[in-house]
Amino acid sequence: MKKAIDQLSRPFKDLRISVTDRCNFRCRYCMPAEIFGPDYAFLPKQEILSFEEIERITKASVNLGVRKVKLTGGEPLIRKNLHQLIRKLYEIEEIEDIGLTTNGILLPTYADRLKEAGLKRINISLDALEENLFKKMNGVGASVEKVKAGIDAAIQAGLKVKINMVVQKGVNEDEIIPMAEYCKVKEIPLRFIEFMDVGNSNGWNWDQIVTKKEMMGILASRYELIPIEPDYYGEVAKRYRLKGSDSEIGFITSVSETFCSECTRGRISANGSFYTCLFAQSGVDLKEDLRNGMTDTELMNKLNQIWNNRNDRYSEERTEESAVKRKKIEMSYIGG
């Protein structure tokens, strides 16, 4: 009974918005090249939410308690004039924090513009430092040096930078120590993410998971980890400080240590549906309502009803069979 009460009482604090379903990488985690190749039918422009529609959804969400917004993709920096959307969201008085997830290679071009528009923080995906492995993992042969240049550009622009690393057994667990050392030297937080069964196309199974416990065991060969207390209710990462430094690492443990009952995140897909879970099978379409004259009050009431009637706890219920059989929204539509 307590779990059901916790599930119902989660506040709606964090809105994640996918601004495009396209990406300039074809990484195995969310957009493997054999599926998302040159002939893949991405969403036509008219099916993607406009900046004005995103602004309306955000304002309605603010009235329900949202204070943080993160823009995702696909690769959000592919979306033309993204800084204009950030400026619109920045001007919503109640919004306290605007973030963005990216693979980083376009940051040398856009970092200053994003910061000036009101972006505060940025999560950059980097799953390996070894050049050949990184090229293989991103699916298009892009050099890791381009991501490093993006990291430097973001830091120079004054953005708060955090690095995300998805760890997959038999692929990049040997990069755990090099990544920790790189981020320690750069003085930026690092998040290790357990390989998750997001969408239907990344070939996930239990044997590919490197759990938090296993990652901590690898890190223990080099560092002593000091636990850090959570900063706020619903904080997903379990954070640690490397003893003898101010460097911080964290673990996103959606598989081995679930956190469904404390999740405060709602998600808007690239084509305008509202999801209450990263692993959802379906969402509630908002785009058609917006384009058919729905008022702001009606929009707010609809979001409130969806949130208060959610019952999602997929990570707590996951089995190997359900992970294979359950059809879930693709990562490129809903973002990370």
- Amino acid at position 76, single letter: P
Max CA distance (Å), the chain: 60
Instruction: Give CA separation, 58 vs 15, 40, 303, in Å.
Output: 8, 30, 11
313 is in an annotated binding site: no
Is residue 104 part of an annotated ligand binding site?
A: no
Structure tokens at 105: 């290679």
Query: 30 among the known binding-site residues?
Result: yes
Buried b (16+ CB within 10 A) or exposed e, 94-124: ebeebbbbbbbbbbbebbbbbbebbbbebbb
23 marked as part of a ligand binding site: yes
What's the length of the chain?
336
Q: CA–CA separation, 154 vs 150, rounded Å? A: 6
Alpha carbon distance, N-terminus to C-terminus of the chain: 30
CA dihedral 212, 213, 215, 219 (to 10 degrees): 130
Buried b (16+ CB within 10 A) or exposed e, 148-167: bebbbbbbebebebbbbbbb
The reply to whether 331 sits in an annotated binding site is: no
Tell me whether residue 183 is annotated as binding: no
CA 221-222-228 angle, 5° bins: 105
Interhelix angle 51-62/296-308, rounded to 10 degrees, is 60
DSSP letter at 174 equals: G
What residues form the annotated binding site?
16, 23, 27, 29-30, 74, 101, 125, 162, 196, 260, 263, 265-267, 277
What residues form the annotated binding site for [4Fe-4S] cluster?
23, 27, 30, 260, 263, 277
What residues form the annotated binding site for S-adenosyl-L-methionine?
29, 74, 125, 196
What residues form the annotated binding site for GTP?
16, 101, 162, 265-267
